[in-house]
Each structure stands twice: as structure tokens, then as C-alpha cells.
Amino acid sequence: MRFLLDDEQREFARSLDSMLTAADTPTAVRAWAAGDTAPGRALWSRLAEAGVFALAVPERHDGLGPLPVELAVAFTELGRHAVPGPVVETVSAAAFLDRLDDAAAAAWLPQIASGKAVVSLCLPAAGSPYALDPDAADAVLVVEGDTVRLAETAGPVQPSADPARRLARPLGGTVLAQGPAVAAAAAHAAEVAALATAAQSLGLGRALLDRTVEYVKQRTQFGVAIGSFQAVKHRLADTLIALEFAQPLLHSAALALAEGADHRSAEVAAAKVTAGEAAYAAARTALQLHGAVGYTEELDLALWIRKARPLRDAWGTPAACRARVLAS
């Protein structure tokens, strides 16, 4: 099995990194948390132009995919820049609709590929009764058992540990489809969501590590940079090792999903728990080594730190992922 990215995939990652850096993503994150989704939607359009959402949509519906490996590459960069909005939910909704192969797929998939439609997906069977950012989405799909409905209203927004993640229980709506195909499509969508979230976590962890390394080079104590202390070096080395360990697991899971391998569920679960725990550890390291300044809302670091734990628990808690691995 090949774990290394090819030249085209690495160039894709570099181009997304450059675009998101130039787009001043932290400003869009802060606006999204304050309820102003316009900067985030503008960023969304640029991601669509780069082909990010088309990676989850098949060619017959104006997409480029499904391409799980490229999707993992893209979402690692989205996590590195803390992109706001239901990006994971939109690509998993595309995976869900693709498996239904009905009028709903023909109606929504081209819009998802082009970035015109922001879609949130709620799968209570996957561990959460909440939809992410349903108040900002163009459509909210709710799957309960073998039934999927298009929610009528977003429902009251709930507080979240991350202000840029807006959660709500969608209400009402019309039934789009029923039957065994719905449950099977939902299971596939949950795997795509877990993979994309694992990639987001990996990118988030790397961003936190990079920012912390730069900080400990500049902050001095007793006349020397705090990064010269052995205790600080060890903490950063442990963080790096955890993130490096998650990388091959993520690529292996993406390949297993692309090939439809029988063991793909366990591969995705292993990648999700490893990347999620590594990112959460990176957040704790960043907070400790930044000291009191790490708590401040004014420092952009908080935008990454506050996402680490929600991402760790979204689309499969560590306990649930470990149980899936052990059961395989």
C-alpha cells in the first residue's frame, strides 16, 4: 500500500494553503462566530473554485470524485486554517445523496460541487442529535433510521465549546426517501464525515504545533528562549510524534475508503481517534506553553484551541472509535 502523496496532491495542498492564508481566514472565523456568515460564504466560494467540494461529488453530477484521498488532503488544509462552517457535513451529505441515486441527488449534488449549496447533515445514529450550522445552511438533511427528511427549520441554536461551531436540532420537514438504501447511505456518509474530521484534526494539530514552536523561540525566561528548556522540547517532541503517527493512518483510511475495502470502517475509526487525540494534545501543549496569553480571545491561537475538543468528539468519540477498531 502506498502512503506518500504524489506531486499533484502535494501541489493541491500547497495551493489551498496559499489561498487560505491570503484570504485572512481568522477574520472569517471570528465573523462566523458572531453570526455574520458573509465572509465565510465568500471563503466557501473560493474553496469551491479550487474544487474542494467537487471531490465528494461523482462526475455524472458535475463533480470530480468521489476521491477520498484528495478529500483528506484538502481537509487537512481546511483544518490547518480553521475554516468555519459545515464543510465536513456538506461533503458527507454529498456522499449520502450519491448513494441514494434519486431526484434529490440530481437536485443537490451539482449545487454542492459548485459551492452554491451549503448543506448540513444530521445523523443521530452516528452519535449526535445536532446538526452543525443548520441556520447558515441552504439545506439540512436529517436521517432517522431508514428515513431522510429535508428539515423545515434549523431549530434553536445551542452553545458550543467552539463559538464558530453552531449546533441545533433541526425541526419538521418533508420526507425525501425511505428504505434500506437510506440506512446504507447514512453509514457510508458517516465514514466520509469521520475521515474528513480526522483530516481536519490533523491539520489543526499541525497549526497549533507550528504556532507554539514559533512562540517558544521568541518568549524568553531567565535570559534565554523558553524553547531551549528540555521540558519544553520534550513536550513539543511528544506532540510532533503523535501527529506524525496519525498521518499514515489517515492516508491508509482514505485508501481503504476509496477502494471500498471490507476493513474501511476500522481504518477510518483508527485514523479518527488517533488524529483527534493528537490534535487535542497539541491544543493542551499550545495552551500550557503560551501561558496566560493562550487564554485570550484576542490571540488567534484561541480559534484553533477551541476547535480541538469538538473535532475530537464529532463523528465518533474516542471511545466509539476504539470500540469499532476492537470489534473489527
Distance CA 92, CA 190 (A): 7
293 contacts 299 by C-beta, under 8 angstroms: yes
Look at residue 79 and tell me whether its pLDDT is greater than 80: yes
DSSP H helices, 144-228, are 180-218
Q: Residue 278: which residues within 8 A CB-CB, separation 6 or more?
A: 201, 202, 205, 239, 242, 243, 245, 246
Look at residue 112 and tell me whether its pLDDT is greater than 70: yes
91 contacts 111 by C-beta, under 8 angstroms: no
Percent of the chain with pLDDT strictly greater than 90:
84
| CB neighbours of residue 294 within 10 Å | 18
199 contacts 253 by C-beta, under 8 angstroms: no
- Tell which residue, 142, 168, 133, has the closest CA to residue 44: 133
- Tell which residue, 155, 24, 21, 134, has the closest CA to residue 86: 134
Structural domain 184-327, CATH architecture: Up-down Bundle (1.20)
Mean per-residue pLDDT for 276-280?
Answer: 98
State in Å, rounded, how far the first CA of the chain is from the last one: 20
Phi first, then psi, for residue 21 (nearest 5°) are -65, -45
168 contacts 134 by C-beta, under 8 angstroms: yes
Look at residue 155 and tell me whether its pLDDT is greater than 90: no
> In this predicted model, which residue has the larger pLDDT, 196 or 154?
196
Residue 64: is it exposed, middle or buried by C-beta count within 10 angstroms (0-12/13-18/19+)? middle
Q: Domain coordinates of the chain in residue numbers?
A: 184-327
Q: Residue 232: which residues within 8 A CB-CB, separation 6 or more?
A: 216, 226, 289
pLDDT tens per residue across span 15-56: 999 999 999 999 999 999 999 999 999 999 999 999 999 999
Torsion of CA 83, 89, 93, 96, to 10 degrees: 130
Pairing of strands 147-150, 174-178: antiparallel
Look at residue 11 and tell me whether its pLDDT is greater than 70: yes
Distance CA 192, CA 91 (A): 8
144 torsion bin: left (phi>0), alpha (psi -120 to 50), beta (else) = beta
Look at residue 210 and tell me whether its pLDDT is greater than 80: yes
Look at residue 1 and tell me whether its pLDDT is greater than 60: no
Distance CA 166, CA 172 (A): 19
DSSP designation for 302: H
Distance CA 246, CA 277 (A): 9
- Tell which residue, 217, 220, 201, 162, has the closest CA to residue 282: 201
Distance CA 292, CA 294 (A): 5
211-220, 235-244, 290-299, 316-325 — which is least confidently predicted? 290-299
Q: Residue 143: which residues within 8 A CB-CB, separation 6 or more?
A: 96, 121, 122, 123, 124, 125, 182, 183, 186, 189
Look at residue 101 and tell me whether its pLDDT is greater than 80: no
